[in-house]
Structure 1
Amino acid sequence: MATSTSAPPTAPGVHDEDVSQIDFLDPAQVVRDEQNAREHDTEPDEELINSVKEIGVEDPISVRPRTDGSYGAYKGWRRAQAAQIANSTAATEGRPVRKIKAYVRQDLVGRDGWTRFLSLIENRQRADMSDRDALRAQELSLIDMSDVERRTATRALGVGANAAKQAKTAQKLNDATLRRAAAGGMDLEQTAQLVEVAGVRGAEDRLMRALERDHNEGKSGRGHWDQEMALLRAEQADAETRVKAIEQLKAAGIPLLSAPQYGEKDPSRPLAELTTGLGNLLTEDNHKNCPGHSARLDEEHQPVWHCNDPSVYGHKARPKPKKPKTEADEQKAEERARTVACNRAWKAAAEPRLEFVKRLVRGKAVPDEARLFAQRVLLELPRFYGKWADRRRTETLALLLGATDPERESAADVAAHLPKGRLANVLFAQVAAAFEDDIRAPKKFDTARMESVFLWESPDAHQVSYLLLLESLGQADNGSYQLSEVEFQAIAPHRPGADADT
């Protein structure tokens, strides 16, 4: 029969020793608790068994009572198994049959989530627990907890409020990727984000490099990571758009032409280069019944209609002289590819930039640098700000201020519920919303030049000052925000002291 000393149960977060009764149990009474976080490598090794045979189990295990009279080990199950093995051969090997010291947690009966959490903490502090077991334990324990226990557990684990959902997502990675993510220093949220973009070629390596840059700067921010994630999401969305376009063509029964192999002649031609036998122009409508009706997708994944073999189906080439391909044509193609890449990167950069501004606006007080910047814009009233005010589009402002439904909630109503000490936050939010509206699209019409310009190539002075401000504030906030590569490239010639010809 077990001997014990006991202590009354207490609140979550107190150490086992403070709330348990210490018993000496027969190891045969101990089974693996269903909430034991370790689900792999649960057997004791030879070294542990030999040690227990000689000197017994030195460190107490932790158990909770079960309805059948046994005890579930949520900490120390391998030690309990080693004691069972040692006792099974004790008589034949001339050793004493030993009991095992255990902390018996009466207060954990019926508290599966907290039991698994305690098991997770124990096993994380010991070697050889698999990353998958750790993630699964976090997910299951946090789900099956009261709100009070969950707040305590997330603080102890150093994770956020969405940890259970993130842990479930992270388990979709294979074991090798999980090990690399943990070894590279990814936290739970970042590991879950890796799952989100795992289908993008090279995503893991790119995120690892971004994480390394954040770590090397010696700050706690993740600015480089956020920018790389924004780019990967944009590339993934682009790929999904292409897949959707291909599926739509397939559903309509229209073949998608593949690119010709090297040295292979391509008999297909765009309809824009063809006519009927009588010389009439070909269009999608009057060509759709042709057996050669097909398509290729352009850079924006829109169909460009083709005939896969005009000579077979009686079409003629439009009487237009074909220009030989020149070096200028190749340069134009390269410039077009660069434009597409920069446009996509500029749009992607808006997400981490807006998230950073939201954090600034929703803080207790915006930095003085931000307050003075907003004050100057409001007093100088530059043209872009006036145009934004005239449009009366305040959804972005409502979002920055904390609206749950920016499309429906008035920014003024949201601001009215903020403490009066947050006036500077509201003013900075208004100025930032105007800037975000001004720079959202990568291309705009420059009234001074009377021509369209790409902002990643020719930002104006106000846009440059806004990006420089956010860069400075991000660096001051432990590197929590970094300019994207395309933004950095855009403002490089405009930095104080920069060579104008750069």
Structure 2
Amino acid sequence: MTQTYEQINPTHITIGDNVRLDPRLDTDFVASIRERGVLEPVLLYRDGDGTLTVLVGQRRTLAARAAGRDTIPALVSDTPPADTDRLVDQYVENEHRAPLTNSERITAIEQMALAGLSDHQIAKRTATPKATVQAAKAAAQAPALREYADQLTLDQAAALTEFDDDPDAVEALLAAAATGRFDHLAQRLRDDRAESAHRAEFAAVLTDQSLTVIDDPGYGDTTPIRRLSRLTDDDGTDLTPDTHAQCPGHAAYITTAWRTPTTDDQEPADDVDDQDDNQDGDEDESWPQQVQVLVAGYVCTDFAAHGHHDRYASTNASPSGTKRVADMTDTEREAATAARRNVIESNKAWKAATQVRRTWITTFAQRKTAPTGAEAYLARVLIGGHGHETASHEALTLAGFPGRDDTTSWTAASEQRAAAADATGTASPKRALQIGLAVAVAMWEERTHPNTWRNPSSHDLDTLARLKDWGYPTSDLEDRMLTSPDEDPTD
């Protein structure tokens, strides 16, 4: 048997029988052939009448046809193989061809970037999505973590590098990847870091104002520390931050409160005894106009020694009318502490999940066809009255119809609604259904608020369950909402 190297027009090649029944010509593969051509010669044989038939390289040949290549390299044998040899060779060639691992992709893309290729050039020349190129380059920034890349997606490997200075976070993220909750934990870790940095900045603002900053004193009466909202002077006059400023025990702790945005959310606010991390934002339509900001809570570090009086010391109730911590049994105190901690943690978990969910919805909105159950869900939305509202600027943006930033949200929303309507008019029936579904889901998402996890409506639970069915990786908190919808998560 002799072989010759030739350049052959792929349309002149007969495919013949092949163990690969479906060539699976994905768009990235065809794009690669269009950009770079066939780099590895296909194996052909020429029979007595001159017909060229593929032995090895069916996908490359078909992709070259689809890409419009004029010629491809080929090694041409003058002797047809035995059927057994052909089948064995095709099986081995397909079965044992291994794709690049993520660590290999990261290394290769890093080397291409170091050689001077831009993200766009790498993406075009390798037929790789630009987002994948960028994720690989980001993952390359932490060589010590590259060993974990093959356990993760490239996006996850890139996210892991954000925490390369925190071994505990890396370990937790690797474990979360195995359970499908990597994105939720990564977002929570980002939120915690941002909050820690924000609190440090705010503490510096308070310190610059000559305030002593202490840890949150909690709600117990077992220490000499008291919030100013509980204290009076000898005449029974309430103490305020201004009237208490000269007391040696004057101090502040950092907490949060819901506020309508102002020009400077870093300014210390009035005493906020009852507004802390375990408090909720408003549930009504006005909530989107409020944000959670850092504020100062004022205390006296030794109220009795400085001549102040606790107005609630002689009662069995706290300012909110509940039983004082000092009057609780150990069991009650532990339960109250656990409940408060659960609320704080759940608030943070819901905040992180909201970001992950909205990112997922943005991608979900681009699907070409609606998932199973879309029609029934939309019917329930309409029957329940949830689809009678006009879609907002924020919801339409989330659904894939971004509006102009140089106009009012009302004008932008009007233009976005027109764009969405036009899209349904030109789309296939399946895509039109998906557009309607995406807008309905985005409208629900835009109306969620910090208290949704605590008091979910039937529509909240229905939508969350459908998102899970359609591929959204729910967080632990969201799963608890779905599995115990009739229980108060704070209990």
TM-score w.r.t. structure 2 length?
Answer: 0.58
Distance in 2 of aligned mates of 1:164 and 1:154: 10
Moved more, 397-406 or 186-195: 397-406
Q: Secondary structure at the match of 1:232?
A: helix
Q: Deviations over 1:20-64 (max 9, x none)?
A: xxxxxxxxxxxxxxxxxxxxxxxxxxxxxxxxxxxxxxxxxxxxx
AA of the residue aligned to 1:340: I
In structure 1, the partner of 2:172 is 206
- Superposed, 1:170-185 pairs within 5 Å as 170-173=139-142, 175-179=143-147, 181-182=148-149, 185=151
In structure 2, the partner of 1:460 is 457
What displacement does 1:473 show? 1.3
In structure 1, the partner of 2:432 is 423
In structure 2, the partner of 1:256 is 213
Distance in 2 of aligned mates of 1:315 and 1:433: 53
Change (3 A) 1:205 1:320: same
In structure 2, the partner of 1:435 is 444
**8 Å contact from structure 1 (residues 200, 235) kept in 2:** no
Q: Secondary structure at the match of 2:470?
A: helix
In structure 1, the partner of 2:287 is none
User: 2:151 matched to 1:194?
Assistant: no
State the number of aligned residues. Answer: 338
- Superposed, 1:212-227 pairs within 5 Å as 212-214=178-180, 224-227=181-184
**8 Å contact from structure 1 (residues 274, 282) kept in 2:** yes
User: 2:424 matched to 1:401?
Assistant: no
In structure 2, the partner of 1:151 is 124
In structure 2, the partner of 1:80 is none
In structure 1, the partner of 2:111 is 137
Unaligned regions of 5+ residues in structure 1, if any? 1-6, 19-123, 215-223, 444-454, 475-480
What displacement does 1:205 show? 1.8
User: 2:485 matched to 1:485?
Assistant: no
AA of the residue aligned to 2:346: C
Q: Secondary structure at the match of 2:239?
A: coil
What displacement does 1:494 show? 5.8
Q: Secondary structure at the match of 2:247?
A: coil
Distance in 2 of aligned mates of 1:146 and 1:295: 49
In structure 2, the partner of 1:338 is 342
**8 Å contact from structure 1 (residues 139, 163) kept in 2:** no
**8 Å contact from structure 1 (residues 246, 256) kept in 2:** yes
Q: Secondary structure at the match of 1:355?
A: helix
Change (3 A) 1:134 1:287: farther
Q: Secondary structure at the match of 2:456?
A: coil
What displacement does 1:486 show? 1.1
**8 Å contact from structure 1 (residues 456, 489) kept in 2:** no
In structure 1, the partner of 2:249 is 292
Q: Secondary structure at the match of 2:36?
A: coil
Cα-Cα RMSD: 3.9
Q: Secondary structure at the match of 2:369?
A: coil
What displacement does 1:483 show? 1.5
AA of the residue aligned to 1:437: E
Change (3 A) 1:151 1:350: same
What displacement does 1:208 show? 0.6
Q: Secondary structure at the match of 2:461?
A: helix
User: 2:320 matched to 1:324?
Assistant: no
In structure 2, the partner of 1:269 is 226
Change (3 A) 1:178 1:246: farther
Q: Secondary structure at the match of 1:162?
A: helix
In structure 1, the partner of 2:322 is none
AA of the residue aligned to 1:342: S
In structure 1, the partner of 2:88 is none
**8 Å contact from structure 2 (residues 393, 403) kept in 1:** no
Distance in 2 of aligned mates of 1:205 and 1:432: 34
**8 Å contact from structure 1 (residues 271, 282) kept in 2:** yes
Q: Deviations over 1:74-101 (max 9, x none)?
A: xxxxxxxxxxxxxxxxxxxxxxxxxxxx
AA of the residue aligned to 2:474: L
What displacement does 1:462 show? 2.3
- Superposed, 1:226-241 pairs within 5 Å as 226-241=183-198
AA of the residue aligned to 2:158: A
Distance in 2 of aligned mates of 1:319 and 1:433: 47
What displacement does 1:466 show? 1.4
**8 Å contact from structure 2 (residues 230, 311) kept in 1:** yes
Q: Secondary structure at the match of 1:373?
A: helix
What displacement does 1:400 show? 0.8
AA of the residue aligned to 1:420: A
Change (3 A) 1:259 1:368: closer
AA of the residue aligned to 2:36: G
